[in-house]
Structure 1
Amino acid sequence: MVEKTGGHEAVVLRFPFPEVPAYGEIMEIRDGILMTRIPLPYRLDHVNIYFIRDTNGWAVVDTGIRTDEAISVWEQLFAGPLKGMTISKVIVTHLHPDHIGLAGWLCERCDAPLLTSYSSFMGSLYISLGGRESLTRHNFDFYRCHGMTDEIAGVVAIQGNEYLRRVAELPPTFQRLLQSDLLEIGTRTFRIYTGDGHAPEQVMLYCEEEKLLFAADQVLEQISPNVSVFPGEPNGDPLGHYLRSLRLMQSHMPEDVLVLPGHRRPFIGLRERCAELEAHHEERCDLIRDTCRTTPQSAAALVPVLFTRKLDAHQMSFAFTETLAHINRLVRRGEVEQLVDAEGLITYRTVTA
């Protein structure tokens, strides 16, 4: 079901729980399924944390970022609504610090094993090397060749990814979660789905019997998860991976599945939301294609075409790499071509018939 909003069709989602728990509080989703929120120091100011009753305690899904405030809220939970609760396992959906940041701390505090995808575990270890001078220089050169000024490239390369270092040291071992595997948690059986685009091999848990989907950041209400090109894979096609993941979810999930996302409210309306997200990204591809039709444009010049508000360094790093994700999708489809001048500046031009 859709409604018209400002000339565009907006999906009408159902929200079984219109109120979300305050920091330090717990909300029951279903018998044996709990939800809380942990604060983030960003514009998107929280991450959702879920608990699933296990045979010997509770499995926790995601952990929050490593900040004093986040740890304080966890301690508040352990002293209050979670008092006496045993954490049996720590499940991390993906490598972004707002989800994996306190995994090591929580595993150590609760003497619990870590369960995640191979990409999340190894990718987080790689990100921890981000302070190395050679990687910082590589990132600076990456931004510069796509049209950023020295000043902005320096700020984004050094400060824009500061949040990547907000991750506690991970345990030395983990249990791998793999696409199509079955995971038993208490009396429930979850099938593992993994999605790409927002993060490599992002883990989602689907309980078919109860029509429950722990969707992480793959599908959120109102906002589109960031889909970015990683500087280490400059010609990658994360948007293509993301769109394929959305289509897989549409074909495999029922219309009335309850989506438990990594941010904002749980909702029903997965198929409609997936279709809306796909249309959103196609509109952004249209904007780039139209802008590059008459004059070649750098990725940096195209950022304000997609993101009209003022951006700080943290936001600019996401905006730039998401813009490049749309460009790379168009290049992969043969609709835009890449041009490189004598100084190494990369620009893009729409391919005309």
Structure 2
Amino acid sequence: MRDGIEQGTWESHRPKLTYPFDHAPKLGEAVDIAPGVKWLRMPLGGALQWINVWALADETPDGKAGWAIVDTGISGIETRNAWRAALAGPLGGKPVTRVFVTHMHPDHIGMSGYLTRKFDARLWITRLEYITCRSLAADTGREAPEDAVRFFRAAGWDEEALENYRAKFGGFGRGLYALPDSFHRLNDGDEVKIGDHAWRVVVGSGHSPEHACLWCPDLKLMISGDQVLPKISSNVSVFPTEPDGDPLTDWLTSLKRIKGKIPDDVLVLPAHNDPFRGLHARIDHLIGGHERGLTRLHALIAEPKRVVDVFHVLFRRKIDEYLLGMATGEGLAHLNCLLARGQAVRERDASGVDWYRAAA
């Protein structure tokens, strides 16, 4: 799970979002969002505690009533028990027809293998999300590659932090039930019939490679996954596999595109926190928060800085050993964005550490 460190919360002004539901579902319960659309939650633990998942009324190929599921929770006994309770309870014992996954992070895709195998259902996901997930899952149990160690050393990590990284490497796959061995590809712009309604696929990137949102114009609903969250800014990171990537530009471009494509009157169904109205205001706030962060960062690197030296202008929280990896990835995303805009330069010293300074 990769959700942000509240990068956009420096500003005292927040958009005036509205939350139409006065309570969220408990484990084993569901809240009706619209006809044939149910809101359920699966346990996560940690700061976020829950992930929202969605059940959409659908039919099996032979015409029996069932449920298409969107996102699945992280793999584990607690989540499996929560699914058993939900299926027997508010979902009425009806079968799962299809499993849609917005993106490849374990809290979203983790139980897809369990549900697809239990009901002989197909996983629906974008190609890059499926392939990336399989690639990361293959690292489980491996030693940390030297490329990755050099990557974090260049960011300014000390030897203790590098040793911690080596010890924890390869944990991604532990949050996954064995992935489905095949999938149905979702593409940007696809129109998918689910039950009585057509849902359009709107792809974004930056938080993950090819994140799929689902928008139903008839119901005025948008399942946003992690692409738009009401109270936190999703993690946007550079990783050792693509050290020169510019995911923040991808993220900002995606948000602008979503604002131009999806009307403001939708009810947004996010992966975390509660359903809300105010999509366009929230997008403006997310973009503005990152742009202000870039401005602060540009001013800071008037004198050369390492990645580990810039956290205080991007995040309000203290960055401890548990947040260091995420903060490094987000810090690099902002620095790489400045590099791409021609506003910064990077120089590596003799010890392999990168220093960033504002371009002349």
Aligning the two structures, in what range does the TM-score lie when normalised by the shorter sequence? over 0.9
Secondary structure in 2 matching 1:349: strand
Asked if 1:126 corresponds to 2:135, the answer is yes
In the TM superposition, what is the alpha-carbon distance from 1:164 to its structure 2 partner? 4.9
Which TM-score applies when normalising by structure 2?
Answer: 0.92
Aligned partner of 2:213 in structure 1 is 204
In the TM superposition, what is the alpha-carbon distance from 1:259 to its structure 2 partner? 0.6
Which TM-score applies when normalising by structure 1?
Answer: 0.93
Asked if 1:213 corresponds to 2:217, the answer is no
For 1:277 and 1:19, the matched residues in 2 are separated by 25
Q: Which has the higher contact order (CA 8 A, sep 6+)?
A: 2
1:199-222 deviations in whole A, cap 9, x for unaligned?
110011111222211111000011
| Matched residues, number | 347
1:325-352 deviations in whole A, cap 9, x for unaligned?
0111111001111111122211100113
For 2:347 and 2:57, the matched residues in 1 are separated by 55
Aligned runs of 1:127-276 on 2, under 5 Å?
A: 127-131=136-140, 133=142, 135-159=144-168, 162-276=171-285
Secondary structure in 1 matching 2:201: strand
Q: Which amino acid aligns with 1:95?
A: M
Unmatched 5+ residue regions in structure 1? none
Q: Kindly tell me: are residues 53 and 162 of structure 1, through their superposed partners in 2, closer, same or farther at Cα, counting changes over 3 Å?
A: same
What is the root-mean-square deviation in Å for CA atoms of aligned residues?
1.8
For 1:314 and 1:79, the matched residues in 2 are separated by 37
1:91-116 deviations in whole A, cap 9, x for unaligned?
01100000001111111112211100
Q: Kindly tell me: are residues 347 and 18 of structure 1, through their superposed partners in 2, closer, same or farther at Cα, counting changes over 3 Å?
A: farther
Secondary structure in 1 matching 2:335: helix
Aligned partner of 2:108 in structure 1 is 99
Aligned runs of 1:1-353 on 2, under 5 Å?
A: 8-56=12-60, 57-131=66-140, 133=142, 135-159=144-168, 162-293=171-302, 295-352=303-360
For 1:331 and 1:164, the matched residues in 2 are separated by 33
| Percent identical residues | 36
Q: Kindly tell me: are residues 164 and 297 of structure 1, through their superposed partners in 2, closer, same or farther at Cα, counting changes over 3 Å?
A: farther
For 1:151 and 1:164, the matched residues in 2 are separated by 24
CA contact (8 A) 1:52 1:59 kept: yes
Unmatched 5+ residue regions in structure 2? 1-8, 61-65
Q: Kindly tell me: are residues 262 and 138 of structure 1, through their superposed partners in 2, closer, same or farther at Cα, counting changes over 3 Å?
A: same
Q: Which amino acid aligns with 2:352?
A: G
CA contact (8 A) 1:139 1:157 kept: no
CA contact (8 A) 2:143 2:170 kept: no
Q: Which amino acid aligns with 1:253?
A: I
Of stretches 300-309 and 251-260 in structure 1, the one that deviates more from structure 2 is: 300-309
1:50-103 deviations in whole A, cap 9, x for unaligned?
011112311000000012221221122233223412100000110000000111
